[in-house]
Amino acid sequence: MTKPLVTWFANPHEHSVHFIKFGLMQLERRGEIRFQEIPNHLAAGVLPERIASHSHRRTAAALLRDGHTSKVVVFDGEDSIFQTSPLLTVSDYYFVCAFHRRFFEGEPFAMAYAWQDGSEVDYYRKLYGKLQDRFRPYLCKARPIVPIGPELESEVKLDFSEQRLHNLRHRIRKTVTRTIDWLPQYERFEKRWGRLEELRTLAPRYDVVLKDSLWGWPRHRIALHRKLAELSEKFEIRAELDYRQPEAYELGKHPSPDPEDFPVRSGAGITGDYEEMLAASRLGVFATGFHWGCRNVVTLAWFLGLPVYMDKPVFEAIYDFDNFSLSYNETGNWSEMEEHLKRSKETRAAEKKKCQAVFDRIAGPAVAARHILSTVFN
């Protein structure tokens, strides 16, 4: 029986969906599918013209074939539905890393958190309706997948002879095929994944580690860091909040923060490798990302098996977030922070390993890849 063929159309801005790409590569290496890669700009005649000529931003396309079935799939790695791509209209399936069911089912806006006032959500409420009207005939194509995963790509410096060999192989390959040799990237992904697994073994040294910027509603993120600063006298907290010029619609009626007040630091701040320090902490604490999104550092914390205190997601994935050790900032003022910090002191290594095993079982790259194949072909 012929195995399904997945053709991935590579582009320079696909990093947000590398987690999914890595999963497909893993399935090929395990003999479950055939996988090949072609530059997106060479997809004319294979993909719809709108995709072949598209300037991608956190998206990628793939063609899935199994027997007589052939489907065009688009992966959306943006952090919210407010950046829904027009590629939705020319795909058969549109897998979304920040899938908000109400939006794709045509329901009215209902995303505001308890702490948000009308001035902070008016812009989004209007945009929500405009996008629904624009894409309404195509919304049914959208499917949930997994949130943006930990960063996987890493730069590998080759020595002179290795670089010459790489360049020669690339030139020869271009003369006989338009496919890309994807094994070097797969090997980089594997190396990076191995490093992430090493981080899982680090013993706790800190209570909270957070490197942040004013990305998303400023007053909410400032409130979080003020709370961390307050509690840093009792707990080993290392946090930094850097300035970023907010957009007017993020501020609503609230004043813009003064750049002179930044950075805001708790404890000694971030003094080493951020990922290592996060992995050596007891509790992950995160404010919602831009447009109610989820940054890849949040999924990294889930992967590491940390208990996490965060704003409740308004999107969904192929798994239930309650499978992880998550607690939600329901009131919006981070009032339960100290309680969660005290509780995290009692977290045992066995509990952390259990959470890591849950992530691997329900949320790993190969799990996401198999879900895509099952959805498309079944």
The two tokens of residue 228 are: 């961390």
pLDDT given at position 369? 98
Distance CA 137, CA 361 (A): 35
Distance CA 26, CA 186 (A): 8
pLDDT given at position 158? 45
The two tokens of residue 237 are: 């907290």
Beta-strand ranges (E) seen in the chain are 5-10, 34-39, 59-66, 69-76, 93-96, 142-144, 206-213, 237-242, 264-266, 281-286, 308-310, 326-328
pLDDT given at position 169? 47
DSSP 57: S
**Does an H or E element contain 206, and which?**
strand 206-213
Q: In what order do the strands lie in the sheet with 308-310?
A: 264-266, 237-242, 206-213, 281-286, 308-310, 326-328
Helix axes of 18-29 and 183-199: crossing angle, nearest 10 degrees: 110
**pTM, entire model:** 0.93
pLDDT given at position 155? 53
**Does an H or E element contain 308, and which?**
strand 308-310
How confident is the chain (378 residues) per 10-residue block, as mean pLDDT?
94 97 98 98 96 97 96 96 97 97 98 94 97 98 97 64 45 55 97 98 97 92 97 98 94 95 96 98 94 92 98 96 96 96 92 97 98 96
The two tokens of residue 339 are: 């309680």
Burial degree of 71 (CB within 10 A; 0-12, 13-18, 19+):
middle
Q: Do residues 47 and 72 touch, judged by C-beta distance below 8 A?
A: yes
Distance CA 3, CA 28 (A): 10
Q: Do residues 77 and 58 touch, judged by C-beta distance below 8 A?
A: yes
Beta-bridged to residue 94, according to DSSP, are 74, 142
Sequence-separated (6 or more) residues with CB below 8 Å from residue 303: 150, 196, 200, 356, 359, 363
C-alpha atoms less than 13 angstroms from C-alpha of 316 in its C-beta half-sphere: 11
* CA-wise closest residue to 23 among 8, 2, 11, 1: 8
Sequence-separated (6 or more) residues with CB below 8 Å from residue 236: 205, 206, 207, 208, 267
Distance CA 144, CA 294 (A): 14
Domains by residue range for the chain, with CATH: 5-150+366-377 (no CATH), 206-364 (3.40.50.2000)
Cα R_g (the chain), whole angstroms: 22
Distance CA 34, CA 373 (A): 12
**In this structure, what are the phi and psi dihedrals at residue 358, rounded to the nearest 5 degrees?**
-65, -45
Secondary structure of residue 60 in the 3-state scheme = strand
User: Tokens 């979304």 sit at which residue?
Assistant: 96
Can the peptide bond before residue 263 be classed as cis, meaning omega within 30 degrees of 0? yes
